[in-house]
Structure 1
């Protein structure tokens, strides 16, 4: 694709949360990529930039956000087992 003018958005939801993507582009003589993300994953952001670089030109504004579910479900048995293991380790280390 050489360049484009337009807007698109999409989202996907899984058990860990929802990822939403918005992309707006206008014609420009060169390629200018502006990527905002709250994912805090440099490697993933670089993959997204590489995909956007497949465009030959245009001013591209992309925003990626992640929203985790607001409720947390604790596995009490697993937490208790972990706590017991930590207590044993603390005794072994003399803490």
Structure 2
């Protein structure tokens, strides 16, 4: 049985009256590769920000490495790294 790395269940996030995320669910197992694809404003960065704890969710649940309590998520997030948007380190001519 594969270990679940990330499980998001019905995750929702609003900014004012606008739904940035509307009941997003995903289950990612160890060793699998996923990509978030969508137009600008689709919620990709918002979803990643909620996973990393940079933004709070309004509804739903996030579980990382089997942890879903506030303290457990803080611990689990120490195992992760992520870069949101284009890193300033790279020369844009290569993108």
TM-score normalised over the length of structure 1: 0.29
Which structure would you say has the larger Rg?
1
Larger strand proportion of the pair: 1
Q: TM-score, normalised by structure 2?
A: 0.29
Higher helix share: 1
